[in-house]
Amino acid sequence: MSPTMPPSHLPPAALAHAFWQAADLVARVMAGHSLADNALQRVPGIARPAVQDLVYTTLRAYGRGDFLLSRQLERPLQVPVVHALLLVALQRLEHHPQQAHTIVDQAVLAAGELARGRLRGLVNAVLRNFLRRRDELLAAADRDPLAHGQHPLWWQDVLQTAWPEHAAAILAAGNQPPPMALRVNQQRTSRKAYQEELQAAGIDASPVGDAGLTLAHPVPVDRLPGFFDGKVSVQDPGAQRAGEILRPAAGSRVLDACAAPGGKTAHLLENAPLELLALDLKPVRCRRVEEGLARLHLTAQVRTADCSTPARWWDGRPFDAILADVPCTASGVVRRHPDAKWLRRDSDIASFASTQHRILNALWPLLRPGGEFLYATCSLFPAENQAQIASFLHRHHDAERLHEEQIFPQAAHDGFFYCLLRKRT
């Protein structure tokens, strides 16, 4: 809850309470704040799953909801949190029309808490007007590029230019809930054995990749057998490709240059015992890496450092392998971070590309001749991926490309880019 939000007198289990909390979080995003600041963690546990579902579904469809709302208001609302409440309620009404009476009633109750009762009548009128004009308004939304694509228009233009045959499917995937997938810690158990443990717990899962399992339905991690004992981690199959592509030999000296939250770091160590150094810019993110490694019974040196300034942390010994999962627009994982597509600007692409350029140039000299370097992003934009690698290869004639793949988001996984390079001897 924002510091400026008045306390609520609604029962924590009521839909109105979830609307109230969700409206506050959506309003924060509309004001330019990211959900990455753990705002959801401040929602009481009993309400958190419902609030998160409302927030994420509303933000995935923000362009559509804003279109539907604008068609019903003569002028913009001056109370952002009530604007956000209407977005939340409209999304719910569109997808759960059989609950219309309850949704309208609970949204009006939430409005009473958010605006001290001043705008309950407006909320009631807008939602009932939507129900009356539902077919007309939804048809109009389907004809509008922003409302239909549910991504900023500049974002859609970049995808259409880069991937004309895939753009529609990419947008559709970005508007859907992501799958829940696991990576089995093969230092602790086998995938087959763990899948049997899941079945015994009533959880259906199917194999994916080298060590992954995709769940038929998401579950809380405390329902996963042995999760807190380190048997398994939650990780998208697309993200697991890093540990499948880069497989240093046992005993190799390895750098994970942008390690947090630590999933790829752990995967490398699950594949083989390594002398691994994991870096990240922020202490809080490094602590998350350390906590993850401790849960999985894995060991690495974790340091807070800027990987692009190795003079401040490198001891001069070359690495046998380097993983650079560089900062990027995260355009391939927006269904997991739906606030990102509305907070990003087209100018961010060039900004991230500049950072990536700097990191590549800084880290390449740290790799021994014959060593392998995996460049990774969770982006779909060529300026961060194919163009970045083409520029790098033009500058570094001692680099050769061994493998490259652009993974588009779909039902089974998120979107990623990987390029494995080797330094010529």
Q: Where are the beta strands (DSSP E) in 64-188?
A: 181-184
- Which residue, 391, 382, 378, is CA-closest to 418? 378
Instruction: Give 74's Cβ-side CA count (13 Å radius).
Output: 2
All residues at 6 or more sequence positions from 158 whose CB lies less than 8 Å from its CB, including other chains:
346, 349, 381
**Cα separation, 49 vs 57, whole angstroms:** 12
Torsion of CA 194, 198, 200, 204, to 10 degrees: -130
**Cα separation, 413 vs 215, whole angstroms:** 12
Q: Residue 222 carries which DSSP code?
A: G
Torsion of CA 93, 45, 43, 83, to 10 degrees: 10
Q: Name the phi and psi angles at 86, rounded to 5.
A: -65, -35
Q: How far is CA 177 from CA 97, 169, 409, in A?
A: 20, 14, 11
Residues forming the active site: 378
